[in-house]
Amino acid sequence: MTKRAIAHKNSVSKSPVIKKSVAKSPVPKSPVTKKSVANSPVPKSPVRRGKGPEGQGSGGAEGQRKTPVAKTPVPKSSVGKISLRKKSVLKKSASNAETPKNQKRQHFRGAKSSHDQPKIQPRPLPQTKYENNIPLLGLSLSQLTEWVQQQDQPAYRGKQLHQWIYQQGAKTLEDITVFPKQWRENHQDVAIGRSQILHRSVALDQTVKYLLQLADGQIIETVGIPTQKRLTVCVSSQVGCPMACDFCATGKGGFTRNLAVHEIVDQVLTVQEDFGRRVSHVVFMGMGEPLLNTENVLAAVRCLNQDVGIGQRHLTISTVGVRDRLSQLAQYQGQFTLAVSLHAANQALREKLIPSAKHFPLDQLMAECREYVNITGRRLSIEYILLAGLNDAHAHAIELANLLRGFQCHVNLIPYNPVKEADYKRPTPQEIQAFIDGLQQRHIAVSVRYSRGLEADAACGQLRASRS
């Protein structure tokens, strides 16, 4: 019989892209702020500063080729086996996770002086909530230690459990052979919280799209984007998406529910095990709107950073904008990157493309963005999908440059990826270049991101949880 006095509760995304930098703008040094974890103790891990720029994988060619997609059968997941064999590859310790130290805030261009900065104490990233009969994935080392002790095991078992869940890919407690056999048998009802791979499609650029089945039968999509140096995972934060952006396949399918913390973290572990290689970057650009599931997304960010061992600066949260949520997010003063999907620099056009923009007008969104930059000192990424004849004219580039003047940001242009349910077109390379020139002439830092995985329907905006 299981004595699970504590367990955790998790309540109630487009895709990865390669980045082709067209402008080199100085990246401001971001302040590193103190992170103390209140409420529940989190083990102190050695500090490692994240290297390199955040965000998506880089390199590769534009993905509009018509190329066949190799559909590979999914091997029955032999619990723990893959991960155990690949143990050495995955060995890098979670204790290497970036845990920002208390450092002095540095000034950045366009920001208020530190004198004017609002006096906001950084909040610790939330931990997964304890509650009965909720999976163990998502819990921190101290929470797992507390739990094993409640299950009549010595404290050192907590560390073993943590290691087996996050580094060795245990799918059930039964897999954890260092635990006593009788104890494992008595705890068969305790779930770790891993999904099943229902299907995987591999694009010619080796981007892999996964259909994952969750415990309640719901299906989500996750994308793994490898380059030589990086393995980026594009994770979903919801089943479906309520934002209904007109150019996006996910929004066309409606919304079902938020993902729990373990369901977000599981996507990263699944891709890591399937590739047999450590995940270096995670982008919340799959199905769903992360800021409608803020608490679980931030708890997943904490877990990916501290338990899985991915530097916070290698994590990107992308949002189309939800009222008051950017301000709320700023309180954490996290080191992750925030990407705002703008897509239009005037309210009328933005409303046409993004219905939810009616309830959160552009001027208010920009005000929250400014506040976010002022509080966190982090440069914002601005995502701008390029739709031929709609938002890609020279006048639009000027309008965008005017809106962003003096603002601490980098614009990522995403040429539209075709979606069955929408009738938009991607601009020509010449039109894209003209838009870039318009921004650069006005000193706006800009990159073009060509989505990868187009042939596997794994590119930005193409995720719809179907076997296409």
Sign for the CA dihedral angle at 181, 182, 188, 193 comes to negative
Comparing every residue's Cβ against ligand SAH, the nearest one is 461
Decide if 292 contacts 238 (C-beta within 8 A).
yes
CA angle 463, 467, 468 (to 5 degrees): 70
Question: How far apart are CB 185 and ligand SAH at their closest, in Å?
Answer: 43
Nearer to ligand SAH, 128 or 356 (CB): 356
Single residue of 248, 326, 329, 445 touching ligand SAH by CB under 6 A = 248
Q: What is the DSSP string of 3-52?
A: --S--EE-------EEEEE----PPPPPP-------SS--------PPPS
Alpha helices in 43-140 (DSSP H): 81-85
- Active-site residues, by number, are 221, 460
Nearer to ligand SAH, 16 or 126 (CB): 16
**Distance (Å) of CA 52 to CA 27, 321, 379:** 11, 26, 14
The reply on whether position 461 binds ligand SAH by CB under 6 A is yes
Single residue of 225, 282, 414, 444 touching ligand SAH by CB under 6 A = 414
407 burial class (0-12, 13-18, 19+ CB within 10 angstroms)?
middle
Residues numbered 12 to 31 that lie near ligand SAH (CB under 6 A) are: 13-14
Question: How far apart are CB 387 and ligand SAH at their closest, in Å?
Answer: 9
Decide if 444 contacts 400 (C-beta within 8 A).
yes
Q: What is the distance between the alpha carbons of residues 431 and 393, in angstroms, rounded to a whole number?
A: 8
Q: Which stretch binds ligand SAH (CB under 6 A): 2-10, 125-133, 186-194, 411-419?
A: 411-419
Question: How far apart are CB 99 and ligand SAH at their closest, in Å?
Answer: 27
The reply on whether position 438 binds ligand SAH by CB under 6 A is no
CA angle 34, 167, 205 (to 5 degrees): 95
Q: What is the distance between the alpha carbons of residues 388 and 401, in angstroms, rounded to a whole number?
A: 19
Question: How far apart are CB 384 and ligand SAH at their closest, in Å?
Answer: 8
x/- string (CB under 6 A) for ligand SAH, residues 266-285?
-------------------x
3-state secondary structure of 113: coil
- Measured between alpha carbons, how far apart are the two ends of the chain, in Å? 44
Nearer to ligand SAH, 300 or 460 (CB): 460
Name which of 48, 28, 13, 437 is nearest 210 in CA terms: 13
Residues numbered 97 to 156 that lie near ligand SAH (CB under 6 A) are: none
Q: Around Cβ 233, how many Cβ atoms within 10 Å? A: 28
Single residue of 98, 383, 392, 455 touching ligand SAH by CB under 6 A = 383
The reply on whether position 220 binds ligand SAH by CB under 6 A is no
Single residue of 297, 385, 411, 444 touching ligand SAH by CB under 6 A = 385
Nearer to ligand SAH, 42 or 292 (CB): 292
244 burial class (0-12, 13-18, 19+ CB within 10 angstroms)?
middle
3-state secondary structure of 121: coil
Nearer to ligand SAH, 141 or 354 (CB): 354
Q: Which stretch binds ligand SAH (CB under 6 A): 77-85, 183-191, 197-205, 312-320?
A: 312-320
The reply on whether position 382 binds ligand SAH by CB under 6 A is no
The reply on whether position 326 binds ligand SAH by CB under 6 A is no
Nearer to ligand SAH, 192 or 432 (CB): 432
Question: How far apart are CB 249 and ligand SAH at their closest, in Å?
Answer: 7
* Residues in a beta bridge with 199: 211
Question: How far apart are CB 370 and ligand SAH at their closest, in Å?
Answer: 19
Q: Around Cβ 206, how many Cβ atoms within 10 Å? A: 15
Nearer to ligand SAH, 122 or 321 (CB): 321
Nearer to ligand SAH, 45 or 391 (CB): 391
Decide if 93 contacts 106 (C-beta within 8 A).
no
Single residue of 235, 315, 357, 460 touching ligand SAH by CB under 6 A = 460
Binding positions for ligand SAH, rule: CB under 6 A: 13-14, 243, 247-248, 285, 289, 318-320, 341, 383, 385, 414, 416-417, 419, 460-461
